[in-house]
A and B are shown apart, each in its own frame.
Chain A
Amino acid sequence: MAKKKRAAKKPVKRRATKKAPARHPRPRKTVSEVSPLAKLDPMLRLGASRAKIEARFQTRAPELPAEVVRAQTVSDVSFGIQSLASRMSKVGAERLRKEDLVSVVVDCRAGESVRDRVDQWGGCGTRVSPSTVVARVPRTELESLARLSAVHYVEASTRLKLHSDLAHVSSGLVRAGVRTVAQTGAGVLVGVVDTGIDVSHPAFRSGGKTRIVNYLDQFTDQEFDAAKIDAGDATGSTDTIGHGTHVAGIAAGNGGGSPSSSLRGVAPEADLAVVKSTLETADILTAIAHIFDVAKARNQPAVVNCSFGGHVGGHDGSTIIERTIDELSGPGRIVVVSAGNEGNDPIHAHGVVHGDGSTAGRWEAKFSLSPRTFQGESGPIELGILFLQVWHQREDRLKVRLRSPSGSFLDPPAEGSTEHDFGSFFVDASRQVHPYSGDTLVTFEVITLPQSQWLGNWVLVAEEVSPGSATVGAVHAWIQDGAEGGFTTGATFEYLIGMPATAYSAVTVASYATRNQWKSRDPQNPSIHLEALALEALSTFSSPGPTRDGDTKPEVAAPGEWLLAPLSKDALASELPLFTRVLGIEYVSLRGTSMSAPYVTGSLALLLQKDGSIDWGEAKRRLIKSTRQDRHSGVCWNPRWGYGKLDVERLLTIEADA
């Protein structure tokens, strides 16, 4: 199929005045003497060609697929146009096939005359500027319109696609601007335990009413139902951190406040139950139970999001809060927890204490403390304080102790606690058998003066009590918080999934990147572009597994870097700086496994809409079975990616296991 050769034309300069500068900064080439089809938007060339075919055979060709034009039957349609046409939405193609009038935007001179000709052909037009006419033109006259000497170009009036968040494309939730799944979360309760929510944000309102059916403020012990929220009673329970509003928006925002609602969350029609929490484990436990109580009262399935964690406990799901999550979870009751952001933190050390039978096995890991300011009895005080928890199997008879910078050894007692006070440093050492797991836990609380000679050169030592006294000999040690200090030797950068994400029933979520640029409100950085951030790659901060008892967590990785979601109007600048705030709309760009977890929460809300009786086990099975793997994830399961990337479309197509 020969392409028509386009004649080289001399550029025609458009007249420009100081008052009304030319619209186009570059001179435009005229195409008036080439084929009129060259002046037609390729989308319209398809329509004009189809009109020709139909005119030739005096009939419509309904059997011809609207979105694919066969080259052998349409001589003047290039493969390029076929390709373009094949990308048209089915709805758009169907409209083009059925309707005789085609909406166009005409770039022309003498707009009045063009409009008159359109009227003569039975169409209608409006001159919106001296050089622009918008019109509805009979499809059979498209080519005639393009032939008019006054017409520079005829462009199809195109329904623009939503600027869906890039995360939705990556997760398979949106393809070519259209959601791939029918579910919206309707009838499902999405629970959010977090820093609160901006109840006034349009993303959480629908039809003039709130979508938040219950809002509990644990700081004030106030509880609001939807009627109270709509009455304005909850406006005092603000989200000054902005974390909870963002998290809720990822899971279940409806896009309100964004252009064409384009930044909608995963489950935009789900109901919301939110707890503004102190984030103390006691209150978190209460919050999760409260949300499931709300769901029960409303007879709804529910999925609760927990975008927080910490490094206390055995990292094996044995803490009380984790086992309570297990007990509260069941059919239609699922809890999702973020894996954590400690992927780069040297807060875990692991060794195997195994001798050769004739000598006692020994393992060491060095660590140091970071000086911090605390509130003392008589004002601020600078100290180094570090909590270290060391776990090993009870059957392994090990001696676990610290060596101080001065060389002295600090032992815990056989059972209970002992205090060691050396003036410049203080150590509380304790040993206990964990009541649930039966493993041995040795805890050290280290307090030092802030001088460098006391902050560094601490050594954790684990050794067999006697040669061969350890059967397995595995020792795991966690520093509670990276701000306290870190291991300088022996750090593994594994086993970093925090509590309560190590709960057996919890769906634990890692993070990968889907966005590296946005327009910000920061006048110093109006266009954020993080060039070094590779899209689709794992977020370096994402905490890797497995759990201490070998559970293959995280289960799944989801978009968590950087996601655009609702901005709380009460968020402090110190919490959400200007560069994170999106220009022109009340949305903010944040990253973290805090963001990837609600992405999965919303996805499971879609799954629960499909089948409200699904429990966490079945949900995990479908999640795992539906994940996708690529060159970034490598072979899965692995400690950082889990079983791979979330694929929402596939998740919702997998059926119950026979």
Chain B
Amino acid sequence: MHKLRDQLKRPETLRVIVELEVRSPQDKDLEHLGDLGLDVERVVGNKIVGSIPAAKLEGLEADDSVRMVERSEKLGLH
């Protein structure tokens, strides 16, 4: 048990930005992401904005079709 960390609320769903290996994803590529648990919100080139259950994040990262996954970070106003 990690007492300190477990005291903090952790999100069950993570918003992520996914970069695919293919340059122009087709419907089948997006369907595949859906199978991995990603709820696709928007496609910009080969970058996909979506959300995924935290428990399925590792599976998404490990998939061969995925080049890179970044968590959506809240940025600060300047």
The residues of A with any CB-CB pair to B shorter than 8 Å are 194-195, 241, 243, 278-286, 289, 307-310, 312, 319-321, 323-324, 327-328, 338-341, 374-378, 381, 383, 385, 419, 421, 423, 425-426, 428, 435-436, 447-449, 481, 498-499, 592-594, 597
Contact = CB atoms under 8 A, between A and B. Distances in A.
A279 B75 contact: yes
B70 interface: yes
Contacts of B8: 374-377, 381, 383, 385, 447
A308 B75 contact: yes
A269 B45 CA distance: 32
Given A374-B8, A448-B4, A324 B78 contact: no
A286 B41 contact: yes
13 contacts: A281-B17, A286-B42, A286-B49, A307-B78, A321-B70, A324-B47, A328-B44, A376-B8, A376-B9, A419-B2, A423-B4, A426-B3, A481-B76
How large, as a class, is the contact surface on chain B? 20 to 34
B55 to A, nearest CB: 15
B2 A320 contact: no
Interface of B: 1-9, 15-17, 19, 41-42, 44-45, 47, 49-50, 67-68, 70, 72-78
B78 A383 contact: no
B56 to A, nearest CB: 17
A222 B75 CA distance: 22
Contacts of A375: 8-9
A324 B77 contact: no
Contacts of B17: 281-282, 285, 320-321
A281 B44 contact: no
A421 B78 contact: no
Identify whether the interface residues of A are mostly helix, strand, loop, or mixed: mixed
A328 to B, nearest CB: 7
B78 A283 contact: no
B76 A421 contact: no
Contacts of A278: 74
List the 10 closest pairs (A to B, CB-CB), nearest first. A282-B72, A594-B78, A338-B78, A310-B75, A426-B4, A435-B68, A280-B72, A282-B49, A289-B44, A308-B75
Given A281-B17, A320-B19, A423 B76 contact: no
A309 B4 contact: no
A280 B44 contact: no
A153 B69 CA distance: 77
A289 B67 contact: no
Given A307-B78, A340-B78, A481-B76, A320 B68 contact: yes
B78 A592 contact: yes
Contacts of B2: 419, 421, 426
Contacts of A592: 77-78
Contact of A281 (B6, B68, B72): B72
A195 B15 contact: no
Contacts of B72: 280-283
A455 B77 CA distance: 27
Interface core residue of B1, B47, B77 (most chain A CB under 10 Å): B77
B44 A279 contact: no
A421 B4 contact: yes
A447 B77 contact: no
A549 B68 CA distance: 20
B45 to A, nearest CB: 6
